């Protein structure tokens, strides 16, 4: 089930996290997402993570805003390498809509799982990262999560090849 990103006002942040190896033939990157027009999103997209976090912390706690805030804080914490602090916000975003049956909420929940998968990847938990990204794809196979799954699989394949090379030496 593909979703229209314009319909949900979701913006892929130009925070493409590069973990590229020299051996990769095409450039792959993990993609974080924040909600367009949410508090602090503009600052996060400009790389002003501290200012974005300040706005998010002060933001209104309406039900819809809670998802936007949790998603934004998750992304900003990832970009500032405050990974342990990112996990609860990523998980909070997941929990907001995971029981909803509407395709809009499937899309948003998928994005939240994808963001948490990135945290797990950066923490070195490849199994957890793959589990989150695969869950994201099973909920809504949008371009963001499919790209992240491709990236993780390429990294897993590269790691396995490196392990085989070391073992044969």
- pLDDT value of position 9: 40
- pLDDT value of position 7: 37
Assigned token pair, 148: 């992240």
Q: Which fold has domain 10-20+27-168?
A: 1.25.40
- pLDDT value of position 2: 46
Residue from 96, 30, 80 nearest 88 by CA: 96
Return the domain boundaries, the chain: 10-20+27-168
- pLDDT value of position 37: 74
pLDDT by 10-residue block (mean), the chain, 169 residues: 41 40 47 78 83 81 76 89 94 90 88 95 93 95 90 81 51
- Angle ∠(93,95,100) on CA atoms, nearest 5: 110
- pLDDT value of position 56: 82
- pLDDT value of position 16: 44
- pLDDT value of position 62: 65
Assigned token pair, 13: 């942040």
Task: Let me know: does 66 contact 74? Beta carbons within 8 Å.
Answer: no
- pLDDT value of position 130: 93
H or E element in which residue 12 lies: strand 10-12
Q: How far apart are CA 20 and CA 26, in angstroms?
A: 9
**115 exposure class (CB count in 10 Å sphere: 0-12, 13-18, 19+):** buried
């Amino acid at each position: 089930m593909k979703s229209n990103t314009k319909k949900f006002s979701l913006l892929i942040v130009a925070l493409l996290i590069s973990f590229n190896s020299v051996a990769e033939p095409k450039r792959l990157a993990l993609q974080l997402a924040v909600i367009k027009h949410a508090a602090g999103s503009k600052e996060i997209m400009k790389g002003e993570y501290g200012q974005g976090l300040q706005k998010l912390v002060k933001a209104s706690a309406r039900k819809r805003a809670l998802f936007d805030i949790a998603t934004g804080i998750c992304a900003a914490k990832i970009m500032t390498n405050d990974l342990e602090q990112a996990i609860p916000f990523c998980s909070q975003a997941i929990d907001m809509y995971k029981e909803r049956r509407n395709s809009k909420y499937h899309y948003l929940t998928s994005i939240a799982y994808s963001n948490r998968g990135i945290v797990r990847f950066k923490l070195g938990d490849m199994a957890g990262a793959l589990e989150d990204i695969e869950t994201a794809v099973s909920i809504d196979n949008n371009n963001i999560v499919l790209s992240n799954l491709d990236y993780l699989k390429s990294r897993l394949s590269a790691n396995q090849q490196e392990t085989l090379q070391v073992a044969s030496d």
